[in-house]
Chains A and B, each alone.
Chain A
Amino acid sequence: MKAKTRLRLLLSYIVLIILAICVLYPALWTIMSSFKEGKSLFTDSIIPKKLTLDHYRDLFSLNSRTDIDIPYFKWYWNTLVVATWSMIIGTFIQLLTAYAFSRFRFNGRKSLLSTVLVLGMFPGFMSLIAIYLILIQMNMLDTHMALILVYSAGAALGLFVAKGFFDTIPRSLEEAARIDGADHLTIFFRIILPLSRPIITYISLMTFTGAWVDFIFAGLILRSRDKWTIAVGLYDLVNAYNSTEFTLFAAGAVLVAIPITILFSYTQRFLVAGLTAGSSKG
């Protein structure tokens, strides 16, 4: 019996280690490649023989290389601006929406909720062309403002996680406040918001990182190269140079991935709530 358990544990550890290598290898390989000399994908050993910071230097010193046009710093800055604004507006909108649906039983509530669910069933790109046409009409194509608007407007549809959170705040708190004469706005700002710090953090992180990783709407709306966001730029870098500038891409990817990964790992405690949100609750 003892020997059998030991064998089982040994096998389990072996599987766990193999899985861990599979999980970590792509990340390690990218980080190592970003310090490697030369441009190519090809590696002779996992730890490069000679380490260099050239690729990072290339990314940040504009026009240091004439053969390739990568305004990386500009892209980074654009993304930061767009992400910050859409985080502020989007979070606010999503909180209001979730709060309204969680706390009030008004006419048309059920049908609005069903509408949100139905809208989620359409593929997102169905709206691409129409949004493009609308933005032309509003004379806003190729502006960051338009992108912020599109991201923030979409934020309302992701209300279910926050709604689930608000649902767990006991109603007796509000009722007590209402008896003391507080009106709707006071209750929202003085009672609900202070209690919902975790969910506010979660929504802000989701909307913030959302702007970093979207390359579809950003690619459609931002037409000129130096207005791009980082995701569009990196996608183009891989696509246009077809892996011949891999080390440069690796350096760029590392600089994006590290902050986003750190921010995103915070959201994992809401991951289960996010998975079950739309599926079980109306």
Chain B
Amino acid sequence: MNRHATTAGWLSVLSMGLGQFYNRQYIKGILFLTFHISGLLLIFLKLKTHLIGLFTLGDQGQHLVKVGRVYKSVDGDNSIFMMVFGVFSFFVVFVYLFVYYLNVRDAIASGRKRDQGVASISFSKTAYNAFTNSFPWLLLAIPILGVLIFTVMPIIFTALIAFTNYAGPNHIPPKNLVDWVGFETFIHLFTLNVWSNTFFGVLTWTLIWAFLATVTCYFGGILVALLINQQGIRLKGMWRTIYIIPYAIPQFVSLLVFRNMLNEKFGPINQYFRYFGLEGLPWLNDPFWAKVSVIVVNMWIGIPVSMVLVLGMLTTIPKDLYEAAEIDGASPWMRFRSITMPYILFATAPILITQFAGNINSFNVIFLLTGGRPVTADYNNAGATDLLVTWLYKLTLNLSQYNFAGALGIMIFLIIASISIFSFTRTRSFREEDMIQ
């Protein structure tokens, strides 16, 4: 009964398009066959060297060759570009294999229709169907291409680099070759004192920072919102507008301003301290005070956001809850504790988790305010306020330790992914998306 489907399927496995010919869909068959041939030609003539190159990463670096009497420096293999091309070529091969898969699937589907006695559809109809059914893919084609080239490829590439020895000063192309080293980078990061001290130190501070930054902004926001929302406070709109200003000022401007304000010698904050006869504090130059400063400044930036969130939430609490509580004789404090607070906490808990994850990746505050400083001697090229991301940035742009940067990126991803999975499995609305419509 499945005669046509099986035959067409196997013919398509043999070569793209054959199954379609068998099903008498000639135009489609020719298209598939053309794709097949050009794909194979491309892979075997052009991409083969790149594909092999991804595994070898080159045999010879820059070297000297005797030309006549003098030695001349000759360019060798550039491992990193070989890697870029290699990854790109693998992409093309995957696309080719995917189309192959589609071709087999299409042949089987058409064959099955013939088995059931339905005439196979004409090409113009196929084209029309393809246009209407794959319209979302048509819309998504350009976005997907952009994301593939500028996000997915780079991430894969950087993740691969974590498994090589691509790092200054000894393994920087074009002068030297880069080799695959397996998990060596990770092992160094965890066990070699030079790296592990810094890694675990920075990791600890990153987690402390993410926790404190999230909690301070969150509860700060709730407090400010409740303060404004009190009965009897006038000009609620005005207060709200004033407190939203930090959100609207571009972050890099306000952070650079704060960096100047907290300047130990000339900054206005310390000037006021001196005015009152106090010593003034080394806001950004002492490890402890620098940590305090980044958290306080982060509150300035972050509280407005959670304030707006909570203010919105407060309006959605049903009024009759309060009325009922009042009739039962609950004091304002009891009403707040048993109605307002549980309501806010319940509604905002998922956001709290995403904000925690976001704070692990929070780059601007640290980079613009302290730049990771003050430098500590115990750390390998990181300062007391450096987070994993800012350290990653330094390792990449200033120190050319690309393999360690790649490994760090993977670690950060693992941390954030596990937090996010934890939160997604707990958010019911994730599964109930289509219920509203």
Contact = CB atoms under 8 A, between A and B. Distances in A.
Interface of A: 5, 8-9, 12-13, 15-16, 19-20, 22-24, 26-27, 29-30, 40-43, 93-94, 96-97, 99-101, 103-104, 106, 109, 112, 117-119, 121-131, 133-134, 137, 149-150, 152-154, 156-157, 167-168, 171, 183-184, 209, 212-213, 215-216, 220, 231, 234-235, 238, 243, 246, 249-250, 253, 256-257, 260-262, 264-265, 268, 271-272, 275-276, 278-282
A5 to B, nearest CB: 7
B212 interface: no
A121 B389 CA distance: 12
Interface string B16-56: 00000000000000000000000000000000000000000
A70 B228 CA distance: 44
A158 B230 CA distance: 36
B7 interface: no
Given A23-B243, A100-B136, A264-B247, A126 B409 contact: yes
Nearest to A97: B143
A265 B246 CA distance: 10
Contact of A130 (B153, B232, B243, B350): B153
A276 B351 contact: yes
Interface in B371-425: 388-389, 392-393, 396-397, 402, 405-406, 409, 412-413, 416-417, 420, 423-424
B389 A106 contact: no
Contact of B259 (A152, A238, A268): A238
B135 A154 contact: no
A123 B266 contact: no
A129 B155 contact: no
A16 B436 contact: no
Contacts of B436: 167-168
Nearest to A269: B308
A218 to B, nearest CB: 11
B251 A282 contact: no
Given A121-B357, A279-B354, 11 more contacts: A12-B227, A123-B413, A126-B409, A127-B154, A127-B158, A157-B147, A171-B437, A209-B250, A272-B308, A272-B312, A276-B350
Interface stretch (B57-65, B197-205, B320-328, B427-435): B427-435
A26 B392 contact: no
Contacts of A213: 250-252
B147 A156 contact: yes
Interface residues of B, number: 94
Interface in B125-172: 132-137, 139-140, 142-144, 146-147, 149-155, 157-159, 161
Contacts of A171: 437
A128 B233 CA distance: 49
Given A125-B396, A213-B251, A282 B430 contact: yes
Given A19-B243, A122-B413, A123-B361, A41 B260 contact: yes
B437 A9 contact: no
Contacts of A100: 136, 139-140
